[in-house]
């Protein structure tokens, strides 16, 4: 039942993890504001379910970390994709939108597009960074790519893939000024003691690979700085259980830790510095204007493949956006507890450096504020109606990440 003259009646959405659930919920709100009777179906998490999606599988169904790890779950994932394809074709949405999870969603999008459905992908995969040849497959899979960052849109425009640069929803959501004392008060952190926020990731695999190292680094830092407080937001109840089990091995550290249910944003705003695994959390820390250290580990085989394929100098979004190394990145063997604690110690000792970086991040934040959910909704309307996409790439924002 295709929409008439841009009316969007049915939207099939597939999100693969918590960040996709947040993005999907914002998009759903924007579409409902413009099309009050719109229906949603697919895969979503608690936020998307609250906005009205009929979720056919739990959000965690697609949350598999790493190139090698995916192989173990491949038969199950292929079965889920077959069922979603059948479900979407029975339901006949105006458009199917994959939200991130490119390894899963692009294949589904291609199958549905070949079956006559309009498709879009929301959140560009890092095709500009590695396996650039994938852009040919993307062009066959989607009627449009909706990107968060200007250099991504420039890449697709160069390769003649229809694209809309919509800005980043998190940049719209987070204020350009934040209140560190208020955030600390809200978390029960009193006084002027320095605060470290530790975010080891939202996936079980990330906790497994880096969680213990993060806690060991925090313990070292606390030993050297008796006044330091540590806040650790747990992304889900499952992650909280895993973190509690790890903290049992660090009784001295546990006395200095405030373990939170969610509230990652409050933790970052409250902090003087943030230790995190690479991913959306790094962008969020940048949008909270906080000094950070990115550290990441993965399976040895996955890391070996990544080194062969990745073409960018950096992995964290703040560095990619700035096109320079504003944020230290410690990857694989470099991400030892000793190295992490030493770099964090330098950050805590450099108050003027933290202040300057916070100001730089505020400027970058302002440049990404574009009312992204509304712009994405407008692009979807255009696709449903068969109109041209809204203009997206401007000359001053047209740089690409170099090959």
Question: 178 with 265: CB under 8 angstroms?
Answer: no
Which pTM was predicted? 0.74
Asked whether residue 71 falls in the same domain as residue 116, the answer is: yes
Residues 44 and 151 in one domain: yes
Most confidently predicted of 222-226, 235-239, 312-316, 331-335: 222-226
pLDDT band per the 50, 70, 90 thresholds, residue 103 = confident
Select the more confidently predicted residue: 150 or 86.
86
Both 64 and 210 in one domain: the answer is no
On the question of pLDDT at 370 being above 80, the answer is yes
Mean pLDDT over 115-142 rounds to: 89
Q: Is residue 232 part of a domain?
A: yes
Rounded Cα distance between 292 and 315, Å, is: 14
The predicted-structure confidence for 12-50, as pLDDT tens digits, reads as follows 999 988 889 999 999 999 999 999 999 999 999 999 999
Residue 95 falls inside a structural domain: yes
Find out whether 179 and 370 touch, Cβ atoms under 8 Å: no
Q: What is the mean pLDDT of residues 122-151?
A: 87
**d(Cα 162, Cα 69) in Å, to the nearest integer?**
32
Total number of domains in the chain: 2
pLDDT band at 69 (very low <50, low <70, confident <90, very high): low
Whole-number Cα distances in Å, 238 to 76, 204, 208, 231, 384: 21, 8, 12, 18, 39
Q: In which band, very low, low, confident or very high, does the pLDDT at 71 lie, cut at 50, 70 and 90?
A: low
Domain contains 4: no
Residue 277 backbone dihedrals phi, psi, to 5 degrees: -80, 150
Residue 191 forms part of a structural domain: yes
Quick check: 68 pLDDT over 60?
no
Mapping DSSP to helix (H, G, I), strand (E, B) and coil, where does residue 331 land? strand
Measured distance CA(392)–CA(399) in Å, rounded: 13
Residue 9 or residue 125, greater confidence: 9
pLDDT tens for 267-279 read 999 999 999 987 7
State whether 60 and 189 are in the same domain: no
Report the pLDDT value the prediction gives residue 14, as an integer from 0 to 100.
97
Name 159's Cβ contacts closer than 8 Å, sequence gap at least 6.
Answer: 135, 139
195 vs 256: CA distance, rounded Å: 10
Q: Is the pLDDT of residue 2 over 70?
A: no
Q: Are 362 and 377 found together in one domain?
A: no
- The answer to whether residue 402 sits within a structural domain is no
Task: Order the strands of the 257-261 sheet from edge to edge.
Answer: 257-261, 229-234, 195-199, 273-276, 291-296, 329-331
Q: What is the 3-state secondary structure (H, E, C) of 148-198?
A: CCHHHHHHHHHCCCCEEECCCHHHHHCCCCCCHHHHHHHCCCCCCCCEEEE
Question: Residue 224 belongs to what H/E stretch?
Answer: helix 212-224
249 and 347: one domain? yes
Residue bearing tokens 């493949």: 305
More confident residue, 127 or 379: 379
- What CATH number has the domain bearing residue 275? 3.40.50.2000
Per the domain annotation, does 380 fall within a domain?
Answer: yes
DSSP code for 324? S
Q: What is the DSSP string of 259-320?
A: EEES-HHHHHHH-SEEEE-SSHHHHHHHHTT-EEEEEE---HHHHHHHHHHB--S--SHHHH
Residue 107 has pLDDT above 70, yes or no: yes
Question: 233 and 317 share a domain?
Answer: yes
| Domain identity same for 223 and 354 | yes
Mean predicted lDDT score pLDDT of the chain: 88
Domain assignment present for 403: no
Residue 5 inside a domain? The answer is no
Q: Tell me, what's the pLDDT at 5?
A: 57
Query: Does residue 31 sit in the same domain as residue 75?
Result: yes
Full residue range of the structural domain in which residue 379 is found: 10-167+370-397
Residues 186, 281, single domain; the answer is yes
Residues 202 and 351 reside in one and the same domain: yes
- For residues 195 and 261, state if they share a domain: yes
Lowest mean per-residue pLDDT among 95-104, 305-314, 332-341: 305-314
């Amino acid at each position: 039942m295709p929409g008439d003259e841009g009316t969007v009646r049915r939207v099939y959405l597939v999100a693969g993890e918590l960040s996709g659930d947040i993005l999907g919920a914002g998009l759903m709100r924007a579409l409902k504001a413009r099309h009050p009777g719109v229906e949603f179906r697919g895969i979503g998490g608690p936020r998307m379910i609250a906005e009205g999606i009929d979720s056919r599988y739990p959000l965690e169904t697609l949350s598999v970390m790493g190139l090698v790890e995916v192989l173990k779950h491949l038969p199950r994932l292929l079965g889920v994709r077959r069922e979603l394809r059948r479900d979407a074709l029975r339901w006949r949405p105006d458009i199917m939108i994959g939200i991130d999870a490119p390894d899963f969603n692009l294949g589904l999008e291609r199958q549905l597009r070949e079956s006559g459905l309009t498709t879009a992908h929301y959140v560009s995969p890092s095709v500009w960074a590695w396996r650039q040849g994938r852009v040919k497959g993307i062009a066959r899979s989607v009627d449009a790519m909706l990107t968060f960052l200007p250099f991504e849109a420039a890449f697709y425009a160069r390769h003649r893939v229809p694209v809309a640069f919509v800005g980043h929803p998190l940049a719209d959501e987070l204020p350009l000024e934040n209140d560190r004392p208020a955030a600390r008060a809200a978390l029960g952190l009193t006084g002027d003691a320095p605060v470290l926020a530790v975010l080891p990731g939202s996936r079980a695999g990330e906790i497994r690979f880096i969680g213990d190292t993060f806690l060991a680094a925090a313990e070292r830092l606390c030993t050297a700085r008796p006044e330091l407080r540590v806040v650790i937001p747990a992304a889900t109840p499952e992650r909280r259980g895993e973190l509690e089990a790890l903290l049992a091995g660090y009784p001295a550290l546990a006395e200095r830790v405030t373990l939170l249910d969610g509230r990652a944003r409050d933790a970052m705003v409250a902090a003087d510095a943030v230790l995190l695994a690479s991913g959306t959390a790094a962008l969020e820390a940048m949008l909270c204007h906080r000094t950070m250290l990115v550290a990441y580990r993965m399976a040895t085989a996955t890391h070996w493949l990544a080194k062969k394929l990745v073409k960018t100098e950096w992995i964290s979004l703040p560095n990619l956006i700035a096109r320079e190394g504003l944020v230290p990145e410690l990857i694989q063997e470099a991400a030892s507890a000793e190295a992490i604690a030493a770099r964090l110690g330098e950050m805590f000792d450099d108050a003027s450096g933290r202040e300057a970086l916070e100001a730089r991040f505020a400027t970058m934040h302002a440049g990404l504020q574009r009312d992204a959910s509304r712009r994405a909704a407008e692009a979807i309307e255009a696709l449903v109606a068969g109109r041209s996409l809204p203009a997206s790439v401007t000359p001053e924002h047209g740089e690409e990440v170099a090959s």
